[in-house]
Amino acid sequence: MELRNYGNTGMKVSTLGFGGSEIRDASKADVELLLNRALDAGLNMIDTAECYGDSEEKIGDVLGHRRQEYFLFTKCGHAAGVDGPNWDANVLEQTVDRSLKRLKTDYVDVIHLHSCSEEVLRQGDVIEVLQRAKEAGKTRFIGYSGDTTDALYAIRTGVFDSLETSLNIADQEAIELTLPEARKRNMGIIAKRPIANVAWMYDTVTEDDYAYDYWKRLNELKYDFLSEEAQRVVEIALRFTLSTEGVHTAIVGTAKPDRWQQNADLVAKVPLEKEQYEAIRARWKEVARADWTGRI
């Protein structure tokens, strides 16, 4: 597993990270098998959030004894069981402390604000909560998770060490809008949704499905490679994301114990051939409309 320098943080992260959203519905036994196998195979970065059901608790339960072997990131901002509104400073402080308790650790490596708006960022309270958490040693670094002009504003504040943003074959706004600004500041950059929720696999998708926007876009983009064998398409999509300048790691979520190793084998082939990378970018520029913005 290739390791990349995560911006100015001094961390060297595995190019394939683990996204904890999907394990909320998995058995503890499956999560234990999955995550321990992943660590054994070279994973060293795990990302979760306070609103991913019991994801934090499961990670803490099965990996608490291996805490020094991986970098642990979480996200905050939603009340998710704490009395009060989203983005309230008191709520954030409570959820940060709760995350540490759930994860069975004294600190995380990065806490990201979870996709709040520019309006919320301008008020300053949420940033101050994270800065205080950093000063108290509850997190080593602070970051912003989100997309579009909200992410651009967050980057330009200069206060964040890390950016987590959507980037894939069906979501490329960040390549020109935010990644150049993040690179100027040498921020650590995580690509979320790096395989576009494998939206090409579905014949039909309802409007309330998480993959709907990507499914619609891919039906218009009509990349030639989408007709290839399923695993080959995943490989191209994942390698495209990881071949984008500035990206240090891509987080892929799964609840299947064997799936992480399969994905790890695919990223061993990074980078994607330049000709194919440029063809995907060219097709995006040809087809993408102004409203094809980054998806939270």
- What SS3 string covers the chain? CCEEECCCCCCEEECEEEEHHHHHHCCHHHHHHHHHHHHHCCCCEEECCCCCCCHHHHHHHHHHHHHHHCEEEEEECCCCCCCCCCCCHHHHHHHHHHHHHHCCCCCEEEEEEECCCHHHHHHCHHHHHHHHHHHCCCEEEEEEECCHHHHHHHHHHCCCCEEEEECECCECHHHHHCHHHHHHCCCEEEEECCCHHHHHHCCCCCCCCCCHHHHHHHHHHCCHHHHCCHHHHHHHHHHHHHCCCCCCEEEECCCCCCHHHHHHHHHCCCCCCHHHHHHHHHHHHHHCCCCCCCCC
What does pTM read for this prediction? 0.96
Q: What is the pLDDT of residue 264?
A: 87
- Helices 274-287 and 212-221, packing angle to 10 deg: 100
pLDDT at position 155, please? Answer: 98
Q: How many CA atoms lie within 13 A of 24 on its CB side?
A: 12
CA distances in angstroms from 98 to 52, 75, 108, 215, 261, listed in the order given: 13, 12, 12, 36, 31
pLDDT at 1: 85
Q: Please give the structure tokens belonging to residue 259.
A: 């799936």
Mean pLDDT in order along the chain per 10 residues (296 residues): 96 96 93 94 95 96 96 95 94 97 98 96 96 98 98 98 98 98 98 97 93 97 96 96 98 87 85 96 98 94
What is the per-residue pLDDT for 21? 94
